[in-house]
Structure 1
Amino acid sequence: MDEGEQGGNAGVPAPRAGTALLDRRARVIGGLDGRLRDLSPAYFGLVMATGIVSLGAHMMGQPLVARALFLLNVLQYGVLCVLYVLRAVYHPRQFFGDMVSHLRGPGYFTAVAATGVLASQCFVQVDAPRAGFVLWLLAVVLWIGLIYTIFTAFTVKTDKPTLDKGISGGWLLAVVATQSLAVSSALLATHIGQPYRLELNLMALSMWLWGGMLYIWMMSLIFYRYVFFRFSPDDLSPPYWINMGAMAISTLAGSLLILNAPDAPFLVSLLPFLKGFTVFYWATGSWWIPMLLLLGIWRYGFQRFPFQYDPLYWGAVFPLGMYAASTWQMNLAMEFGFLAGMPRIFLHVALFAWLVTFIGMVRSVLRLRRQPSGRV
């Protein structure tokens, strides 16, 4: 055998190795593309949960925790914005198809609520009113675009699911998104001069009232679905905790309106109404906590439903943190005093739930990296 034949034989494995490497890269790229295609519309719940736990820690004198979570939240928000834009560009059919789906569409309201929560963090935690204003304006634009797109599509589409198949606690994310605008508008009003302070307080009041009305509409349907249709463990998805979270953020918005009353005469005239409905929202949210715990015990204890990470679990962390923050603010606004211990307890519960869910998310991401494709 001459050198030419030897050289030729020696070079045979090289193309195979190169082909294998290209195949591996193609599988990795394909897997990442698949995860981008299947990205949950509700993933901004991660920013909502992290933001409200950070705000609660700031309110209750834990600056290191609050600061660390704020910085993490800015990073998470930026990454998710990039991922959502990439999904809209490369997978428009899935992106916009989810938007008009009865079960997945309301998940997009997490983008509005997350932007509003991050704006509130800028106002409260880092005294960055300009950044907060930009985020508040973005939240307004997102709210207008999503709420009319989604509900118009739900109204005019030809093929619609039955009530038991088409509605879930995730629909109440529309209420949370609306109330997040009430909260951020009330906070922005404290950082801006007259006459815009009056307009912002009126906007906050209007959003607070509209969010409450929207909750009544939706909760009536959800409760009817609970009681009169067959209920399986699969139906009790984590967004059902938004039943409580929507009332908690309504309590927070009402408390801020009470605190803003000295700067807006029309709020002074409405103080009895504001205080009454704020307590009403808080009491309703409080009622849901034992009910949701009992349903959780039924799901995981009696029905043996597997407990594994799902991005929807951020929809259960957020209400815990929001209940802590809203109870703290209501205690200040109403000058109760005797509720000071309750929000601290719920803050620690929310921190624990956030940590467990975050660890689950990291483990899920690492596990998916070793797989060619998967849902994120």
Structure 2
Amino acid sequence: MSGRGRLGTGLTPAAGAAVMSTGILSTATESAGLTVLSWLLLALAVAGGLVLGTHLVVRWATDRAGWLADAATPASLTGVAATTVIGGRVTAAGWTGPAWLLLAVAALLWVVLLPRVLRHRQVPTVGGSFLVCVATQGLAVLSATLAGAAGSRPALSAGVAAFLLGLVLYAGVLARFDWRQLAVGAGDQWVAAGALAITSLAGAHLVLAADRLGTPGRVVGPLRALDLAVWGLTLGGYAVLLACELRWPRRHYDVRRWATVFPLGMTAAAGFAVAEAERLPALARVGQVLLWPALAAWVLTAAGAAAALLRRGPAAPG
């Protein structure tokens, strides 16, 4: 994930990761029973999404060339992921109508942005490159969540297709990954684990939706096994990145630090979902434990963002 490019007033495309992070922590805290905090985080995520969306529209109208240049970077896909994350939380609140609209918006953005990002892909890949998987699995999560809530088999089928495509995209990025990023990345190296976490979350919601729709066991069984395998890889990736973080600490704020918060929160949220889908309540304790470092990272990163904004001062007129 790069901070290159501006949405206006000091915002970069990577700032969408802040909305992703806040939205998924709303989901995780809701699963943990922290209802008031969950609603507060959802309100912040929606407000951030509206601000970023407004800036995108303004940028499209006033700086088309710059908009198209930024649209070719993986960071542009944070808009897709953020929309699906908010949509998933909205669905959990019982608001399926707005969630279907958010799914349509996210799918349209994905169709427009993903081919452009893939055509301009960076080799070797870096942490932000995994956003092609994150955005795709975001569609899988929201499709599966809506499939379960609305009893929609077409949504379930779309979710399975996005889930499998996301796995292919992850493998393609991983095959060309610059492993030096584990030591020198500014925060977005964590998306390598975050992409696995959202894949696990997608698999869990697909299992839950398939069960609710009465899908035959011969279909659900392999999906359940695949989801457990991805969950194991998620925990392994989390452990590796945490060890690298301790070995090569990065103590200064960078907007790409939001791409660290997102995987932390996503892994916690996946823990709760996998526990429910696999009928393994003990895994929910993993989600409970991992939620607190994610919240701490959110607070520290938000404080760093506020301090950076104060240092920058008001934008120059014109």
Alpha-carbon contact 2:21-2:262 (below 8 Å) kept: yes
1:313 equivalent in alignment to 2:257: yes
Paired AA for residue 143 in structure 2: S
- Structure 2 counterpart of 1:121: 89
1:198 equivalent in alignment to 2:153: yes
Q: Quote the Cα distance in structure 1 between the aligned partners of 2:89 and 2:150.
A: 16
1:152 equivalent in alignment to 2:96: no
Match of 2:282 among 338, 342, 348: 338
1:69 equivalent in alignment to 2:41: yes
Q: Quote the Cα distance in structure 2 between the aligned partners of 1:351 and 1:291.
A: 20
The 5 Å alignment of 1:14-93 reads 36=8, 39-93=11-65
- Structure 2 counterpart of 1:175: 133
1:186 equivalent in alignment to 2:186: no
1:362 equivalent in alignment to 2:306: yes
Paired AA for residue 252 in structure 1: L
Q: Percent identity?
A: 28
Deviation at 1:217, TM superposition (A): 1.3
Any idea what the Cα deviations from partners look like across 1:23-52, whole Å, max 9, x if unmatched?
xxxxxxxxxxx8827632221111100001
Q: TM-score, normalised by structure 1?
A: 0.78
Q: TM-score, normalised by structure 2?
A: 0.92
Match of 2:296 among 352, 357, 362: 352
- Structure 2 counterpart of 1:284: 233
Q: Structure 1 residues 331, 148: CA separation in 2 closer, same or farther (over 3 Å shift)?
A: same
Aligned partner of residue 309 in structure 1, secondary structure: coil
1:329 equivalent in alignment to 2:273: yes
Any idea what the Cα deviations from partners look like across 1:152-181, whole Å, max 9, x if unmatched?
344xxxxxx7x34xx211010110100110
Q: Quote the Cα distance in structure 2 between the aligned partners of 1:351 and 1:242.
A: 17
Paired AA for residue 284 in structure 1: L
Aligned partner of residue 150 in structure 2, secondary structure: coil
Deviation at 1:93, TM superposition (A): 2.6
- Structure 2 counterpart of 1:3: none
Deviation at 1:309, TM superposition (A): 2.1
Paired AA for residue 332 in structure 1: E
Instruction: Determine which structure has more spread, i.e. the larger CA radius of gyration.
Output: 1
- Structure 2 counterpart of 1:131: 98
Alpha-carbon contact 1:115-1:139 (below 8 Å) kept: yes
Match of 1:140 among 92, 96, 107: 107
Deviation at 1:108, TM superposition (A): 0.6
Larger CA deviation: 184-193 vs 172-181: 184-193
The 5 Å alignment of 1:144-293 reads 144-154=111-121, 163-164=123-124, 167-193=125-151, 197-222=152-177, 225-226=178-179, 231=180, 235-264=184-213, 266=215, 268-293=217-242
Q: Quote the Cα distance in structure 2 between the aligned partners of 1:60 and 1:261.
A: 24
Paired AA for residue 79 in structure 1: V
Alpha-carbon contact 2:145-2:206 (below 8 Å) kept: no
Structure 2 portions without partners, runs of 5+: 1-5
Q: Structure 1 residues 234, 275: CA separation in 2 closer, same or farther (over 3 Å shift)?
A: closer
Paired AA for residue 136 in structure 2: T
Structure 1 portions without partners, runs of 5+: 1-33, 155-160
Alpha-carbon contact 1:179-1:250 (below 8 Å) kept: yes
Q: Structure 1 residues 272, 232: CA separation in 2 closer, same or farther (over 3 Å shift)?
A: closer
Paired AA for residue 327 in structure 1: G
Q: How many residues align?
A: 313
Paired AA for residue 43 in structure 2: L
Paired AA for residue 87 in structure 1: R
Q: Quote the Cα distance in structure 1 between the aligned partners of 2:172 and 2:263.
A: 20
Q: Quote the Cα distance in structure 2 between the aligned partners of 1:73 and 1:232.
A: 28
Alpha-carbon contact 2:106-2:139 (below 8 Å) kept: yes
Q: Quote the Cα distance in structure 1 between the aligned partners of 2:269 and 2:290.
A: 9
Aligned partner of residue 294 in structure 2, secondary structure: helix
Alpha-carbon contact 2:148-2:210 (below 8 Å) kept: no
